[in-house]
Amino acid sequence: MGNTLGEKFKLTVAGESHGPAIIAIVDGCPSNLDIKLEDIQKELDRRKPGQSRITTERREEDKVKILSGIFEGKTLRTSITLIVYNKAIDSNKYIPIKDKFRPGHADYTYFTKYGIRDWRGGGFASGRVTVAMVAGGAIAKRVLQDYGIKIIGYVKEIGNIKAENIDYNEIEKNSVRCPDKNKAREMEEKILAVKAEGDSIGGLVEVVAKGVPAGLGEPRFEGLKGQLSNAFYSMGAVTCVEFGAGHKAKNMLGSEFNDQMYSENGRIRHYTNNAGGILGGISNGEDIITRVTIKPTPSIAKQQKTVDIYGNNVKIKIQGEHDPCICPRAVPVIESVTAIVLTDFLLQK
């Protein structure tokens, strides 16, 4: 279970890291929408491994094909099936550790729950399945485009390095996807240094949704914050999800935090945006601002203590290609689930 996101616009993901393919089924996309294969491909290229020195070296082309739902270039409103065949599915590097639980991975929790182990690179729990999220997200972004809604994601912090001058135009110009070009350079160096040590590092991704009208969302257990955070936490690497002032709200006074309001040309606006654009689960017309903390990638070359499937205390060293910092590649994934959740609400979840 847990493979479907959304209700009125829903993404179902399938496939495994080392199986023949990753599949995304998008159901509920409005009809008569022109969707171009290259737009989906472009998003997948932002997520794909091997795109720069600071990501994993696994080689995948991640070419997407359409199996259903689009006829003569237009969506039929029936379910859209997208498939990406896996290429680099040599599982040999996993053989030496096939009986060992990798610390920080879901190896042990899955094994305990299901009593079976697909030791080939995380299998179904692998970050590789985010391919399907990005493919589905590309369709959601296309839907949002017609509503004038745009999702912008970027890396805001790596280690203790924080972006300060936010320039959206810089994001895709550097390998870190940082909107501050000077900090981007520092971050890249930091990541390479960590990589050289066989280690990894965490970071913070910020996503802004612009153009969301007031009134989107639902109360209580289907609120925008909760549904977005649930979507973010689908990535095993996420450890914290904040909105607006987020973490800092614990030190604020009501008179500081409350976003006071005014009316301007018939539109209701707020002087500040500590709420991150959401009140009572529903958008207030300001930018939706969310920040997602990403833990350091669990696969590291350093020796670690662990246990094997027979219960023995053992040591583990994870060889081969690593991703020293998942943040840059997580950006399109986080954007994608944001887009899916917003589309779901727009289409009357």
Strands 74-75, 70-71: pairing is: antiparallel
Minimum separation from the CB atom of position 173 to a second copy (A):
23
Of residues 17 and 169, the one with the C-beta less far from a second copy? 17
Of residues 78 and 145, the one with the C-beta less far from a second copy? 78
Of residues 169 and 310, the one with the C-beta less far from a second copy? 310
Minimum separation from the CB atom of position 214 to a second copy (A):
5
Minimum separation from the CB atom of position 295 to a second copy (A):
4
Alpha-carbon dihedral 288, 289, 293, 294, rounded to 10 degrees: 60
Which H/E stretch holds residue 98? none
Angstrom distance (rounded) from CA 177 to CA 46: 10
The answer to whether the CB of 81 falls within 8 A of the CB of 23 is yes
Minimum separation from the CB atom of position 118 to a second copy (A):
5
Minimum separation from the CB atom of position 102 to a second copy (A):
9
Of residues 27 and 180, the one with the C-beta less far from a second copy? 27
Residue among 149, 158, 151, 150 at smallest CA distance from 178: 158
Angstrom distance (rounded) from CA 138 to CA 339: 8
Of residues 174 and 227, the one with the C-beta less far from a second copy? 227
- Return the number of other C-beta atoms located less than 10 Å from residue 80's C-beta: 25
Of residues 92 and 116, the one with the C-beta less far from a second copy? 116
Minimum separation from the CB atom of position 175 to a second copy (A):
18
Residue 254 CB contacts under 8 Å (≥ 6 apart), including other chains: none
Alpha-carbon dihedral 264, 267, 273, 275, rounded to 10 degrees: 140
